Amino acid sequence: MAEMMKGNVAVAEAAVRAGVRMYAGYPITPTTEIMEYLSWRLPEVGGTFIQAESELAGINMVIGAASCGVRALTASSGPGISLKQEGVSTLADEELSAVVINMCRYGNGLGTLFTSQCDYNRETRGGGNGDYRCIVMCPSSIQEAVDMIAEAYDVAEKYRVVVVMLGEGALGQMMEPVELPDFQEPKRNPWGFDGKYTYKKIGIFERDSMKEAVELNAKFKKIKENEQRWESEGIEDAEYVFVAYGLCGRSTLGAVRELRAEGHKVGLIRPITAWPFPEKAFRQINPEVKGIITVEANATGQLVDDAALYTKKALKNNVPAYALPYVYGIPAISKIKEDFLKIKAGEVEEVY
């Protein structure tokens, strides 16, 4: 039976039910409720909660838990996620699995408290130093976020990678009806406690690094082939295809349906994984499409780069790509429709 739950609370409870038994982090708006909830909930199920002295300490504690085979979690936003990047890079280097939740807020530096999608480039490009990628999952509702948690750990452990849940501040703060999943029996991953928690290590010799590069590329190729997730509607005959994820994807779907009802041939691709990017969805687009339009909650347009790239790769031609960046907040259906008509009228300059 569904119950009304706040996003952060629902995600935290879903993590407990997915077998998470260790959380380490540092408070930050708009994510702190995840910490607050787990501070009492994890001890109830025999887990460990640590409010670390900093984000750096928190992610390093997650490294320790992951190396012991425990399902470990941390969450933050804005500059807190930036501070965790060295640890995320280390998790990737040691091929340890963990989940990091980013309820994104807008702005550079310390930023603001406005809900946003301005961290797309960082999360989809790795975030820290080195040659690695995190699987990035982007829920558009609290229910989807709740359902995603157990799957995120399964995928992280399958490939021994970090999975980032890229939400928005509003997703963590709003309330919706949610059906919680059943409890999973906690388990330890087989590489914990055996003294061989990594099956590769960068060596000091050139041959070791070259061997690792081959293995990493093979792994990432497998992830890109098997783990693309998306939702699409109306793209097979669309003259214009919107691309939007998260809460922007949700309002864009409403705009697409209203525009369709008004006689406009439009469609939507909503990436559920921002990496691997859902390239396969773009192969289904009408080859006569007139334009790709991203709807984004950032200032500069970040998703548009990938949307344009994969359109070109899939369709083998130069389709105009437009960005509608709304800086922060969740764009209204009416505003998306209004700006779409400006694109059709030639009043908006294409990005690519």
In this predicted model, what pLDDT tens digit does every residue of 118-154 receive, in sequence order? Answer: 999 999 999 999 999 999 999 999 999 999 999 999 9
Between 207 and 246, the more confident residue is 246
The C-alpha atoms of residue 111 and residue 104 are separated, in whole angstroms, by: 10
Please give the domain boundaries of the chain with CATH numbers for all domains.
3-226 (3.40.50.970), 230-344 (3.40.50.920)
Tell which residue, 74, 125, 77, has the closest CA to residue 274. Answer: 125
pLDDT at 189: 87
% the chain with pLDDT above 90? 89
Which DSSP letter does residue 18 get? T
In the predicted model, what is the mean pLDDT of residues 99-124? Answer: 97
* Among candidate residues 55, 4, 330, the one with its CA nearest the CA of residue 167: 330
Cβ-contact 216, 266 below 8 angstroms: no
pLDDT in tens, 11-56: 999 999 999 999 999 999 999 999 999 999 999 999 999 999 999 9
Each residue's pLDDT tens digit, 301-350 = 999 999 999 999 999 999 999 999 999 999 999 999 999 999 999 999 99
Share of the chain above pLDDT 70, in %: 95
Q: What is the mean pLDDT of the chain?
A: 94
- Give the span between the Cα atoms of 14 and 20, in whole angstroms: 9
Q: CA-CA distance, 38 to 42, in Å (whole number)?
A: 5
The DSSP string of 75-139 is EE-HHHHHHTHHHHHHHHHTT--EEEEEEEB--STT--SSB--TTHHHHHT-SSSSS---EEE--
**82-93 average pLDDT score:** 96
pTM recorded for the entire structure: 0.95
The amino acid at 72: A
Give me 64's structure tokens: 């320790």
- Does position 208 have pLDDT exceeding 70, yes or no? no
Tokens of 234: 């109306």
